[in-house]
Amino acid sequence: MKKIVFPGIAMIGVSYAFARFSFGMFLPDIAESLELTDAASGAISSLAYLAYCLALMTSSVFIYRTGAHTVVQMAGVSAVLGMIAIAIAPNLYVLTVGVFIAGLSSGWASPALSQVAASTLQPYDRDRGNTWINTGTSFGLILSGPVVLLFTEHWRLSYSLFALIGIGVMLWNRKAVPVDESRKKEESVSGYKLLNQWKRSVYLLIASFLVGISSSIYWTFSRSYLTVEYDMSYLESVAFWITMGISGILGGIAGGIIKQFGLATAYRFTLIILAFSIAMITVPSVTMIYFSGILFGITYIFMTGVFIVWGTQLFINNPSIAVSLSFLFLGIGQSLGSVIAGGIIETASYTAGFLLFAGIGLVGLFLPVKTNYMNDKSDQDKILPIG
């Protein structure tokens, strides 16, 4: 399992933490260097989300036609090329292209690696493998956080370093992810059966959308809240962010917890703790604030791991389909939630916004958690080959 999981973790770290999330941390200095307006900065940032959604929508098609091995390489190449373009960007236009190309990486990496895990790992290792690969974002934040903190003004050098690491990770995955030359270009599941599984995935997509909305206020406004309401310094707020990222590593235990207590129990318990962590940041105590960040980091990564397992149990033959759709709805919820949260904060307060969005997350408790995993064991080993 380690042969697939370790390079998978590294690829997720490069795709999410380096190529996608680090841009927001470097943006103030990038904007100053290239003389970008606030409107231009916002438009460029939105391109990363647009690219992510586009990659998610096309990932299953590419995996079906070229194989997961190729799509993993596509994720690596787009991350490296995008970060190189950002590092050398002399103006707004090159920067825009770089951010868009880099943004494609994360949307291709997650579905492709879920297909790799399903095709390569033994059935009893798949859930654990998928959830540990998903923690790559946290491992990436552990590496990128200190770089952002110490070398914010030297963003070109930082992105060059990230690109070099990305090349190494891409080559590692090229060697680790096997290629099956005998792969047949035919559906491994009947149309009727796929339609039936699609219908049963509606609850997964609703759950993903609700968690996306609920978590959006934390991802977008937690640092602003700490600096505005609690007068935290830039250094303290970045330290809070890094602590949150480090905590996410514990989300890798999701596969084991699901195996022990069941998918439904893991989902509901995690949802309650996630909502609690969002509300807890409003408590005026430094200890509680950092505890909120730790809990949020753990439960958010844990919850995305739950969604991956939920999806792979719905689409046993083609797990990349479910992962793409789930993460797409998660992203749509976060995008919509950020806009709504900004309006609520402006018209009411930060506290009201965080408490309301914590409540929105709890709505997901009323959703049934259904899969076809236990009822369709005959298909567990009929996985679409990856090459």
**Tens digit of each residue's pLDDT (9 = 90 or more) over 145-168:** 788 777 877 899 999 999 999 999
Q: What is the number of residues in the chain?
A: 387
- Low-confidence winner among 104-108, 141-145, 259-263 (lowest mean pLDDT): 141-145
The CATH fold of domain 189-375+382-387: Growth Hormone; Chain: A; (1.20.1250)
Model pLDDT, residue 228? 83
d(CA 129, CA 82): 28
In which residue are the tokens 């697939």 written?
Answer: 4
pTM, two decimal places: 0.82
Q: Could you tell me which of 70, 142, 83, 169 has the C-alpha nearest to residue 111? A: 70
CA dihedral for 212, 323, 145, 267, sign (positive or negative): positive
Highest averaged pLDDT of the listed ranges 20-29, 90-99, 148-157, 195-204: 90-99
How large is the average pLDDT for residues 206-233? 88
3-state secondary structure 92-145: HHHHHHHHHHHHHHHHHHHHHHHHHHHHHCCHHHHHHHHHHHCCHHHHHHHHHH
Distance of CA 96 to the CA centre of its chain: 21
Range from 98-102, 235-239, 241-245 that averages highest in pLDDT: 98-102
* pLDDT tier, 383 (very low <50, low <70, confident <90, very high otherwise): very low
Calculate the average pLDDT of the chain: 85
Q: Per-residue DSSP letters for 353-378?
A: HHHHHHHHHHGGGGS----STTT-GG
Instruction: Name the fold adopted by 1-179.
Output: Growth Hormone; Chain: A; (1.20.1250)
Residue 386 in this model has a pLDDT that exceeds 60: no
| In the chain, ranges of CATH 1.20.1250.20 domains | 1-179, 189-375+382-387
The pLDDT tens digits of the residues spanning 52-83 come to 889 988 988 898 889 999 999 999 999 999 99
What confidence tens digit (pLDDT) does each residue in 294-330 have? 999 999 999 999 998 898 888 777 788 888 889 899 9
